[in-house]
Amino acid sequence: MKQAARTKNPAIEARLAALRAEMRRRKLDAVLLTHAPDICHVTGFGGHDSAAIVTARGVAVVTDSRYTEELSESAPQAKLVLRKLGMADTVAVTLKRLNLRRIGFEADFATFGTIDGIRRQGRRLKHPLRLEPNQGLMVRFRAVKDEIEIQTIRAAVDVAEKAFLKVIRVVRPGMTEGEVAGRLILEMRSRGATDAAFQPIIAAGAHSSLPHYRPDHTPLADNQPLLIDWGALYQNYRSDLTRTVFFGKVNRTLARIYEVVLEANQAAIEAVRPGANCKDIDAVARKIITRAGYGKHFGHGLGHGIGRDIHEEPRLHKSRVKEVLLPGQIVTIEPGIYLPGIGGVRIEDDVLVTPGGHDVLSSLDKSFQWATQVTGG
């Protein structure tokens, strides 16, 4: 593949080298990437509706006129393939032109429509193609963060925490869930975030028992919990945090489950280190919650990797029996107890696996006393 004058970015070169080693191992001529975070990871280009074809020697990015200027600035080393036809047609024509036959794609992200379209166009062009679904190719590379990525995620955590502290002081009964969400997004963006990492979960009162609740116009009320799960998207990387706070008096059950969840959060964080089994870390938290009598009210896994996507590898889950943590991975630790009709508590921190153990990237307080005093109401 013809290369433009290269401006080498060492981080991107290292990622490409790792991907190419894997391509050789799998005997692939090329890897087709269609998931925007994957493309950005190996090119620096952050546009959407695009595809990247990584070969042994170069990278071609298939995109349209909306993104050509951005591509030349953010990924000067990539070759532009201007898409005038449909994506599948342009990719097939490019594969034929470069005489690439055995192509791997990321099965969890490429759509059936795109892959099927490339196959059919390949037949029409009389270019025999073998499109092979790969699982955990980019996903596995992206799980271990390099130094630049770690610094960026630290910044994404910092922006989210500063925004939270600004907002929580003025949050009081009468304000709606939606207004809290909007204020958090405003404060994160004012501090350099491109957006929220995901739509913040602001769950007032009994809504807090719904782990992935979507905020509406419900006003916050006195003597109730408020669960806030939020994060910042900062320079293409995401943070993910949860705190549960209280207005006025705290009912005895909620106070009790707060202490249990906090204990589970702290014990699981202590268990994070290289070589630790993902299932075992989940079990550390689950045992504490189960022993307190709330095992069936902790339905989700303990945590997940974060990075360019909000949910990445590895997963801290009972199904991950053979998987162990590696230095450079960043995971959430987010135990919760959810009591329908009463409310829920979740406490979530972001934790870096270091060669010697772990480093908790989040630094917000989480003591029960803090949780009952931090709001403005």
**For binding to Mn ion (CB under 5 A), which residues are involved?**
240, 332
Task: Give whichever of 230 and 247 is closer to Mn ion, judged by the CB atom.
Answer: 230
Least separation in angstroms between residue 44's CB and Mn ion is 27
Closest alpha carbon to 230 in 83, 362, 58, 329: 362
Q: Kindly write down the DSSP assignment for every residue of 125-167, as one continuous string.
A: TT---EEEEESSSHHHHHHS--HHHHHHHHHHHHHHHHHHHHH
Task: Give whichever of 301 and 343 is closer to Mn ion, judged by the CB atom.
Answer: 301
Task: Give whichever of 134 and 362 is closer to Mn ion, judged by the CB atom.
Answer: 362
Tell me which residue has tokens 């006025």: 248
Q: Please list the alpha-helical segments (H only) found in 169-199.
A: 177-190
Query: How many whole angstroms separate alpha carbon 91 and alpha carbon 187?
Result: 41
- Give yes or no for a contact between 120 and 147, defined as CB atoms under 8 angstroms apart: no
Helices then strands, counting H and E runs in the chain, come out as 11, 19
Least separation in angstroms between residue 172's CB and Mn ion is 26
- Give yes or no for a contact between 278 and 312, defined as CB atoms under 8 angstroms apart: no
Task: Give whichever of 103 and 331 is closer to Mn ion, judged by the CB atom.
Answer: 331
Least separation in angstroms between residue 157's CB and Mn ion is 12
Least separation in angstroms between residue 273's CB and Mn ion is 20
Least separation in angstroms between residue 214's CB and Mn ion is 15
Residue with nearest beta carbon to Mn ion: 240
Task: Give whichever of 240 and 313 is closer to Mn ion, judged by the CB atom.
Answer: 240
Task: Give whichever of 38 and 240 is closer to Mn ion, judged by the CB atom.
Answer: 240
- What tokens does 185 get? 């997004």
Least separation in angstroms between residue 375's CB and Mn ion is 22
